[in-house]
Structure 1
Amino acid sequence: MQKEKDTRLIGIYDAYLSVISPFIIQLETLDGEFPVEILNEIRSIFTHLARCSVTDKDIVYEENIAKAERHVKRAILDCFKYLCVAYDEYFRRFSKINRNVDLSFVDNGKFLHELNRLHIEAVNNKTFAQKKELTTENIEDVFDDYEKAYNSYASIYNLIQSSAKSIDFVKHKAVIKDRLNITFGIVGVVSLILTIIFQFI
């Protein structure tokens, strides 16, 4: 019994350290905040773990370890949901900042094609999970669907991050081109004015 207890405890701590904590770090990096809902789940996890630690009754231990495990699952699900929103906001900010940049030059058009494909896939996966959640109260029924949506959104973020140098190069070329166009425009206007002036001299 003790070995089984230890295995389940280790599983909870491992999920917190290797899954929940890295998700929270990513959320704080993207949004600069720690979502209250996830904090509440973590508090519930450790409340039940504390109850496990202070009891010598197997039934109390079993009830609380099971509740802690459910809160772990709920915390991870909430991380999926919040990261979907955070990654979508990241995508929207990226699109807005680069609205005047011809991203079709990045990686010979492959970047923009893949970015659009991943965004459509991510939105569809999230919408599917949200609609499915309306029909059930059991998080097990939607857990895998939200994980799939999260993975799609994470792929968008990773694609943008991995293409950052190429995107900056295209932006730099666009700035140079804009400056040249402005310079030629000014030269053209000055030439026109001088031509008009010399006609009257």
Structure 2
Amino acid sequence: MHCGKKPDSKMSAVRRVAKSAKKVVDKVKHGPFMALDIPAGKATPAPPLGPTLGQRGIQIAQFCKQFNEMTRTIKEGTPLPTRITVNPDKTFSIVHYQPPMSFLIKHAAGISKGARQNMQETAGWITLKHVYEIAKLKSTDPINECKPLEQICKQVILVAKHCGVKVWDKDYDPEEYAKFRVERQKVVEEQDREWEEIRNAKLLRTG
């Protein structure tokens, strides 16, 4: 008789453990952190920002007003990696980082687009002085607080290479660079035409 009850007892214990585990799982909630890229001074309730905030119960109008006020001294439209902490009462705190390295590098080079073929073509030029200034700016981001400036400089140089931006170890001739940019613009326009043709061809095939 005792031997027949043991399996039932074991099964009951398993069920109790499974039931308890389910209760724990049911209580799990999404983390309170959100990571978004938001343009300085241009937070609006429109998609994609508004719906994303709304899903977390954040007062969208209040968020936009607070973010735009925080970033009013930054050039409008500058992309800012933003970290949002959502509290249980739906209040929130905002921390924005410095613009991405790729954006700062292209800005320093005076270009709007990097190289489409990465390191196989040159999209622009910067100097080591630019690298240092960008690294110094990015060192203020919380993620870089414990990194030595030299390490951040190396990271800037690596990102520049992936953007197709040449790093000079000395100053370059502004007139020579101006000529380069004129020729580069022709290349970019030709690439844009080719990409547009490829895009249109794909649309025709799938239409």
Q: TM-score, normalised by structure 2?
A: 0.24
Higher strand share: 2
Structure with higher helix content: 1
Higher relative CO (Cα under 8 Å, sequence separation at least 6) belongs to 1
